[in-house]
């Protein structure tokens, strides 16, 4: 076979001339400066892309939903709330402010109730009333401390702080 002999001879020459090493491909042995520049540029672009992914670009729909839900439902209301929210504020300032903060903006002991997540339809008046009456987690139950009327007033006050209209808030005793 004429093809086999020259190939075998060439292979043997490679090993002999380079010592124990088989001659690598020309590109691997001596990468051109253009290749190195290209590689560096590629890595810089890749790093920039990853950084962008980690900040705004990588925000998933679920993360954005959460951020929007945690944001204030509307700008802080000015002045005094109408009845019954004004009565609710007095109760809130006595019973809730220590954990949920002044104006229900949140505190070390409880979440911000002015957040969009606590507005309807996710949280209807009765949903708020149920939690306030029944308690949740480290939050105490207020069923033995608030009358139904006072409970409704507190719910109305939370609505006012959320920037929502304060109708005659209707709540019933928690089924819980
Ligand atoms: C001792 C601290 C404390 C007091 C006082 C307190 N809360 Fe809370 N409240 C919490 C904590 C903590 C949570 C979060 C509970 C959880 O999700 O486990 C919470 C949650 C809530 C929630 C939302 C529940 C949820 O599932 O996200 C509402 C509404 C609420 N509180 C209203 C009130 C009102 C109104 C008062 C006053 C009548 C009040 N809280 C008093 C600590 C408190």
Q: Among 58, 76, 102, which residue terminates a domain?
A: 58
Does the Cβ of 139 fall within 6 Å of ligand 1?
Answer: yes
Please state, in angstroms and rounded to a whole number, the distance separating the CA atoms of residues 41 and 80. 60
Q: Judge contact between 137 and 110, C-beta under 8 A.
A: no
Please state, in angstroms and rounded to a whole number, the distance separating the CA atoms of residues 104 and 119. 13
Total tally of structural domains belonging to the chain: 2
Structure confidence at residue 176 (pLDDT): 45
Tokens of 140: 């105490």
Residue 122 lies in a domain: yes
Does the Cβ of 128 fall within 6 Å of ligand 1?
Answer: yes
Domain check: are 95 and 150 in the same one? yes
| Eight-state DSSP code of residue 77 | P
Structure confidence at residue 122 (pLDDT): 94
Structure confidence at residue 9 (pLDDT): 47
Residue 136 lies in a domain: yes
Domain check: are 97 and 44 in the same one? no
Does the Cβ of 148 fall within 6 Å of ligand 1?
Answer: no
Return phi, psi of residue 3, to 5°: -70, -35
Q: Which domain holds residue 14?
A: 4-58
Structure confidence at residue 27 (pLDDT): 54
Structure confidence at residue 154 (pLDDT): 96
**pLDDT tens across the length of the chain (176 residues):** 445 545 444 444 444 445 556 555 555 567 788 999 999 999 999 998 888 777 766 778 888 888 888 899 999 899 999 999 999 999 999 999 999 999 999 998 999 999 999 999 999 999 999 999 999 999 999 999 999 999 999 999 999 999 998 866 667 765 44
Structure confidence at residue 132 (pLDDT): 96
What is the CATH classification number for the domain harbouring 145? 1.10.760.10
Ligand 1 atom 5: the closest Cα is on which residue? 96
Return phi, psi of residue 136, to 5°: -160, 130
Tokens of 163: 């920037």
Structure confidence at residue 32 (pLDDT): 87
Distance 152 CA to ligand 1 centre (A): 16
């Amino acid at each position: 076979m004429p093809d086999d002999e020259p190939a075998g001879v060439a292979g043997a020459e490679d090993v002999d001339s380079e010592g124990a090493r088989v001659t690598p491909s020309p590109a691997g042995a001596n990468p051109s400066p253009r290749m190195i520049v290209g590689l560096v540029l590629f890595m810089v672009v890749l790093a920039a892309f990853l950084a962008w992914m980690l900040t705004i670009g990588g925000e998933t729909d679920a993360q954005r939903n959460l951020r929007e839900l945690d944001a204030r439902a509307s700008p802080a209301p000015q002045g005094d709330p109408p009845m019954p929210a004004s009565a609710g504020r007095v109760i809130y300032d006595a019973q809730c402010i220590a954990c949920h903060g002044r104006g229900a903006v949140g505190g070390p002991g409880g979440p911000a109730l002015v957040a969009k997540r606590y507005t309807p339809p996710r949280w209807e008046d009765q949903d708020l009333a149920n939690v306030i009456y029944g308690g949740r987690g480290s939050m105490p139950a207020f069923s033995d401390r608030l009358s139904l009327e006072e409970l409704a007033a507190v719910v109305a006050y939370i609505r006012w702080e959320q920037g929502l209209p304060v109708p005659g808030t209707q709540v019933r005793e928690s089924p819980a």
